Structures are given as C-alpha cells and as structure tokens.
Amino acid sequence: MSKRVVLLALATLLTLSLTLAGCSKPADTPAESKEPEVVKVGWIGSLTGDQAVWGTCELNTVKMLFEDINKNGGLLGKQIEVVGYDTRGDATEAVNAVKRLTSQDKVVAVIGPNASGQAISISAVLEEMKVPDIATVATNPKVTVVDGKTKPFNFRVCFIDPYQGAVAAGYAYDVLGFKKAAILYDVADDYSQGLTEFFEKYFVEKGGEIVAKEAFKFGDVDFRPQLSKIKNAGPEVIFMPYFFKEVALSANQARELGINAVLMGGDGWPSEVLLEMAKDAIEGSYFVNHLDFDDPDVQEFKAAYKAKYNLPVELNGYLAYDAVQLLVDAIKRANSFDPVAIRDALETAQVKGITGQINISKDTHNPEGKDAAIIKIVDGQYVFQQKYSAK
C-alpha cells in the first residue's frame, strides 16, 4: 500500500470520528425531555405601598409553606421554588408580573393577588399562557365570572362581594337591629364599589333605609365633607367598605365630628395597622371576615409564622395558606405539573382549609357555601361574635 493511500485512509477515519462525535450529546448533557428538578410557583401582590403589610405576609406564608414541603421530600419528587413579584398595588404592574412569571420564569401556577382590580386585569394573560391563578382575598365577582362566562384560568379561595355585602346587611338589620344606614365608599375601587352595591341592595330589601351615600377617591385623606353630610342624615350604622388605612383616617375624623354611629366594614379592615392608627375610634365596630382569628384550627399556623418572622399573621396570610393547600391538592390529584392539568384538578377541588371548607364550583371557580365570621372590636382586640350566613 502506498504512503498516499495510507494518508487518505487515516484522513477518512478522522473525518468520520469527528462527524460522529458532533452528532452525539456529551455524557453530562441532560436529555431534552428531562423534567427540571426544581418546579417554579409564582406569587404576585403588593410589597410596597399602603397594602405592603398584607402582601409581605402573603409572600412570607407561601415561602414558608413550600420550604416545609421541600424539607419533607418536595412535591411529586420535585423541589418547589417560589418566585414573587411586587405589583405595587397597580393593575398594570400585576399584568407585567404575570407576563414575566409565565413567559420567563415558566411557573406552573400563580398565587395572588389579594386585590380585585389586579386579579381582574391578569385574566387575559393567564388564558393566553394557559396557567392557573388562585387569588387570595380578591372578592369582586368579575375576578372569576364576567357576563355569565367563567374565566378558564382564574380561581379564588375567598367568598365574593355579593355574599359579603349580604352578610353585612343582614347582620346589621336582623341581628343588630339597625334600620337607618349610611355608606361611605371608594368610588375608584372595584372592591369598595362591589360591597357598596350589595350592602345597599340587601339592606333595602330587608326594609332598611340608606339615609346617606357619600364617595371619595383612593388617596384622599380628608373625609370631613362627606362625614358632615352623613352626620346630618342621622344613621345608626355607617358602612365603610374599604381598606384599613382609609378606615382608620375616616373613623378618627368621624369621632372628631361627634358621630356616634356604629361603624361596620368588610374584609379590608383587619390589620394590626388599623388598631395602631384608630384603636379608640373603631371601638365597638363590626366587620365581616373570612375566619375567627382565635379558632383552634389556625393556632398552629399562627405560632409557626410568629416563630419564623417575629410578626403577627395578617388576614391575607390565612387565605394564602389555603391557596397553597388548594394548589398542592390539585397538583397531587393531577399527578402532574402541567398547568392545564392543574387547572382541570382545581375545578373539582374539595379541601378543608383553615378558613373553612373550600369546595370549588366548576361553574364559578369560587368556593361555594363558605361561612362568614362576624368580628367585633372590643378593647382593641378582634373578638369573634358568630358565624353568619346570608339569607
């Protein structure tokens, strides 16, 4: 064999070996179909602004619960990473956060937000990306249903405004015996408008009279003009369906004006901040809540949260706890981290949460039949009165 032939043969073998090497994957490169060892779950809510105390508690709760799950072997053999983004209390920021969670972070589900306006705004993104969301304390009906059509990827663990407004009206009229009510509400907020509408509807249907109805806009700090008109109308109860900061400011101003009517609100009230800002002004007031803070079923969670963060649990923490339980149950029953499979499992969920039994309706994506808790503020404490159902 000539030297030239030998060289040609060696060159051919070298070319073939390089070609084969280029076609194969390195030994340490994972296969394309291999699932990630870490699965991401998203959270959105307010970490800055007036509602930051609620958002912080929600995110702390979600992280704490998944840390515990990870320590105990994870979920379906995977570790869970929580990715949280601040909405700054803004609907546009909520949309941007969900876009980032679903397209960049590739989360399998989203927990939050607590605010109805933000929860309503993210629906189109969830549907486009086919990722389910479980809202915590977003009570406006439009979060899950609009014009009789159920949004396919929106769920929640809280009862809704029509029910909450009916509970407040029924308790004020039937139990407390009030026949004349006034309403002060935030005209720029979906939550406040919803509770106002249904409180007024049910209170009047029962035979009560709305003697005054005054509005303000989010960001206002002086409520005296509206409160002066309310005072002149002589109500026995004033319904204040908005959030704790404005409740504190308006309650203090109402008492300064000499208004002695009983104050009443919804689930936007309970916060340690409310008690700090307006302890005396809100003494003897009532609000509709999602649970009894002293219920034995919630004490273990309260203690664990306090031990970890050295902070009290805000209302949102309890609903975030139940949102996590709902999601974990759905993933286990679906036996999958596929977002659509998780969505399908959520539609038939029945979970005993710390805020009550959560039976998700496939027709509404709401927890149907949850009892409300009536709370009274006594000596600067939230004191449970009774479970109350709208009739």
State the pLDDT at residue 10: 38
Token pair, residue 322, equals: 């139940």
Q: Residue 330's closest CA among 358, 302, 354, 305?
A: 358
Say if strands 133-135 and 110-111 run parallel, antiparallel, or are unpaired: parallel
Whole-number pLDDT of residue 390:
76
The answer to which of 2-16, 126-140, 170-184, 233-247 has the lowest mean pLDDT is: 2-16
Distance (Å, whole) CA 133 – CA 42 = 9
Q: Does residue 299 have a pLDDT over 80?
A: yes
pLDDT at 371: 83
Please state, in angstroms and rounded to a whole number, the distance separating the CA atoms of residues 237 and 179.
9
Considering only the top CATH level, what class is 161-289+373-388?
A: alpha beta
Q: What is the pLDDT of residue 161?
A: 87
Q: Look up residue 242 and give its two tokens.
A: 């908005």
Q: Which residue has the higher pLDDT, 139 or 47?
A: 47
SS3 helix, strand, coil % of the chain, rounded to 5? 45, 20, 35
Q: Please state, in angstroms and rounded to a whole number, the distance separating the CA atoms of residues 364 and 156.
A: 10
List, for residues 303-322, the tens digit of each pLDDT value.
999 999 999 999 999 999 99
Which CATH topology does 38-159+295-360 take? Answer: Rossmann fold (3.40.50)
User: What pLDDT score does 51 carry?
Assistant: 87
Task: Note the pTM of the prediction, 2 decimals.
Answer: 0.80
Q: How far is CA 214 from CA 70, 183, 184, 193, in A?
A: 50, 6, 5, 12
Buried b (16+ CB within 10 A) or exposed e, 211-249: bbbbebeeeeeebeebbeebbebebbbbbbbbbbbbbbb
Q: Which letter does DSSP use for residue 104 in this model?
A: I
Instruction: Indicate the domain borders of the chain.
Output: 38-159+295-360, 161-289+373-388
- Looking at residue 32, its pLDDT comes to 46
**Is residue 182 predicted with pLDDT exceeding 60?**
yes
pLDDT for 125:
98
Residue 50: pLDDT band by 50, 70, 90 thresholds?
confident
52 pLDDT band, cuts 50/70/90, is very high
Could you give the CA distance from residue 82 to residue 107 in angstroms, rounded to a whole number? Answer: 9
Two tokens, residue 12: 């051919």
| The domains spanning 38-159+295-360 and 161-289+373-388 adopt the same CATH topology | yes
Mean pLDDT, rounded, for 367-382: 92
Q: In this structure, are residues 154 and 123 in contact, taking their beta carbons and an 8 Å threshold?
A: yes
> Which pLDDT belongs to residue 272?
86
pLDDT in tens, 219-267: 999 999 999 999 999 999 999 999 999 999 999 999 999 999 999 999 9
